[in-house]
A and B are shown apart, each in its own frame.
Chain A
Amino acid sequence: MSNPQQLMLREQYGTPEQQRESVTFGMWIFLATEVMFFGGLFMAFTVYRVLYPLGFDEGSKDMSIVLGSINTAVLITSSLTMALAIHSASMAKLKRASFLLLTTAFIGLVFLAIKFTEYYQHYEAHKAPGVWFESSSPHANAMELFYVFYFAMTGLHAIHMIIGITLVVIFAVRAYCGSFNSEYHTPLEALGLYWHFVDIVWVFLFAIFYISGLHT
């Protein structure tokens, strides 16, 4: 198997170190843009939460804390398998890394399955704004606003998950074919950063949508 480092040294770089540094740095900057992207929505949500605490609490109570908690555990487990995959690659255990990556992708699919089940449950309960929303609560309008943010933010998160899962599968194949070795697996590390970030975003989403309604 030819040296992956040589194969993968792009022509704009002078040395492998420069490439490694550049790829990792670029991923961190990308994550900064994602923080701003989700952050904008978190800010808008917070403004309305302060304006309409009762309606938002009611919306939050609708959420299934059981499914939300399961999903949180699921995603954290996937971050574990991702970290283990990178660790395996650094130990030159590429086949194991590939297997762990596929496990990560699978767990991600489990997350999405649970999420879409929740979406369907909301739809059946007539809580899908713009599609079918009905509520007899005195705070119906604020509840609908809550649900708009719920679908928008978890939906955006789900899109990021889908992109992540696709990339993880691609990288699992590449790892199996020996595109990385213990010296050079920087793209895998960058993917790991992305995956962990998406996980962290979920934790915050879980907090604002599921937990905030628990107190009453």
Chain B
Amino acid sequence: MSTVVKIPTAETPNYLTEERGILSWLLTTDHKRIGLLYLASVTFFFFIGGIFALLMRLELATPETDLVSPHTYNELFSMHGIIMVWFFLIPSIPNTLGNFLIPMMIGAKDLAYPKLNLASWYIYMFGGIVALYSMARGGVDTGWTFYTPFSTIYSNTYVVGAALGIFISGFASILTGLNFIATIHCMRAPGLTWFKLPLFVWSHYATSIIFVLATPILAVVLLMIAVERIFQVGIFSASLGGDPVLFQHMFWFYSHPAVYIMVLPGMAVISELVAAFSRKRIFGYTFVAYASVSIAVIGFLVWGHHMFVAGTSVYSAMYFSLLSYAVAVPSAIKVFNWTATLYKGSISWDTPMLYAIGFIGLFTIGGMTGLFLAALGVDVHVTDTYFVVAHFHYIMVGGTIMAFLGGMHYWWPKISGRMYPEGISKLSALTVFLGFNLTFFPQFVLGYLGMPRRYAAYPPEFQTLHVLSTAGATILGAGYLMPLIYFFWSWHYGPIAPPNPWRATGLEWRTPSPPPKHNFEVTPVVTQKAYDYDAMKEELGLV
């Protein structure tokens, strides 16, 4: 982050210029600056995780283990998973866009606990450094899932270090969720009732419920495997009569809701993008709001679908399968409502909308392949294969990362006061979309053909599909490098952005770009519902 920011023709100071110097950033309690601190961190971790992925895909271009040793490959997929899940995906949208926008969207000056917000960033960074240190010292090879007894007894890598890093950063998650919930309950502007809130806020509220209720279980289970490993007491392994399947239950009790932590914020962004670029209120607003909360609640009840072949009972499997189908319903409702919003809208093809449409399509594919996995008989074959890998990458990458990029482009003018370059951004959106599909669609085929996960070497008949996937990965990587470059470029050289370049509704657009430190000169009083284009048409100059 540069310490001196040039904002030409700025008359009043904004949040970037009001205070200067590195300490004003490292000791800030301004939610917008903290959002940018997080943006820098998650981008850093994303590229590290991405490099690991690229190395994996390079190795997988040939059937033999010829680029790296099998042990190194195991460390690569483990570290890729750990970094991407905990240090990129989970904080990505909530801690960057959520931090930046939630107070503004509800007409508040800041979050409920600004100092706690800063503390969260430091805790997250500390956890990340501990995890990275363990990786640099020798790595971890347990997979991001840490299954016992391999992780507690048999692995010879820095398991405790990696677990500790994740444990620490988990507190950042919990505090963020706590902050968001309190903010949304207690800091709304006068007149802003729950059902006038933007859907971005609803989805982040649902995400925050999961943050606060699920993450403590992760903390407990990581603590227990650390205790087991350090003190050699078999809580989850056979030496004392411990049960490795109990580990799986506890791990997935957190980790399944965690995937909704990763996708709900993406959905939050998409609601805003679809409304803005159709210039319409989201179809079925109330249903989308309730669907977000339902996903969070039902998401706590399905963890056993990761364990259909783990040795659990047939009856428990049936229960978890049924509930997994139930949790698909609110997601489907959201997809249909977003799609229906385009009907008779005024659709603009700006880059954010391209990402939004891409999200809806790819999330649909990812979600529907979840239906395959929820079908017990089918899951027996495809679980622990590349089918699952493709499924979750469609949602995490085709979903969440596309939403993240879409949101970054949409709110970039508000964050930086500059516009990004439209032509090249469309090209990079297309590159990402094509690269993504080429990388991950062949993996569905690999999966149902029987290629297991976490294999460095494989039978030669799978090679063609792997080569396609690797080719896609390089294209995808290029697609991600482009925004990194042009966002930096636009910070200094992009055209100055007006307060509301998209003519969107939403309180965040009623401030200058970039906004002043306390967001609003006067606390707004809210009388309109969200996305009320009719009520705002004069102000926005629409006919």
Contacts and interface: CB of A to CB of B under 8 A. Distances in A.
Complex A–B touching at CB under 8 A: yes
Interface of A: 10-14, 18, 21-22, 25-26, 29-30, 32-34, 36-37, 39-41, 43-44, 47-48, 51-52, 55, 129-131, 141-142, 144-145, 148, 152
Interface in B507-521: 518
Using C-beta atoms within 8 Å of the partner chain, give the interface range for chain B: 35 or more
B235 interface: yes
Interface in B6-60: none
Contact of B224 (A13, A55, A152): A152
A38 to B, nearest CB: 8
B371 to A, nearest CB: 30
Interface stretch (B213-221, B396-404, B433-441, B463-471): B213-221
- What 7 pairs across the A-B complex have the smallest Cβ distances? A130-B231, A40-B220, A37-B216, A12-B110, A36-B216, A22-B186, A141-B240
Most buried by B among A18, A22, A144: A22
Contacts of A11: 109-110, 518
B241 interface: yes
Interface string B465-500: 000000000000000000000000000000000000
Most buried by A among B186, B221, B518: B186
B114 interface: yes
Contacts, number: 103
A117 to B, nearest CB: 22
24 contacts: A10-B114, A11-B109, A12-B111, A12-B114, A12-B187, A14-B523, A18-B186, A22-B113, A29-B178, A32-B213, A34-B216, A39-B216, A40-B221, A43-B250, A44-B246, A44-B250, A47-B246, A48-B243, A52-B241, A130-B227, A130-B230, A141-B240, A144-B240, A148-B233
A55 B227 CA distance: 21
Nearest to B230: A130
Interface in B265-314: none
Contact of B216 (A13, A33, A145): A33
Contacts of A48: 241-243
A26 B212 contact: no
A33 B240 contact: no
Contacts of B223: 152
Contact of A129 (B112, B233, B523): B233
A40 B252 CA distance: 12
Interface string B224-237: 10010011111100
Interface string B168-200: 000000100010011001110000000000000
Given A10-B114, A41-B220, A152-B223, 17 more contacts: A12-B187, A22-B112, A22-B182, A26-B112, A26-B182, A32-B213, A33-B215, A36-B214, A36-B216, A40-B221, A52-B241, A129-B231, A130-B232, A141-B240, A145-B233, A145-B234, A148-B227
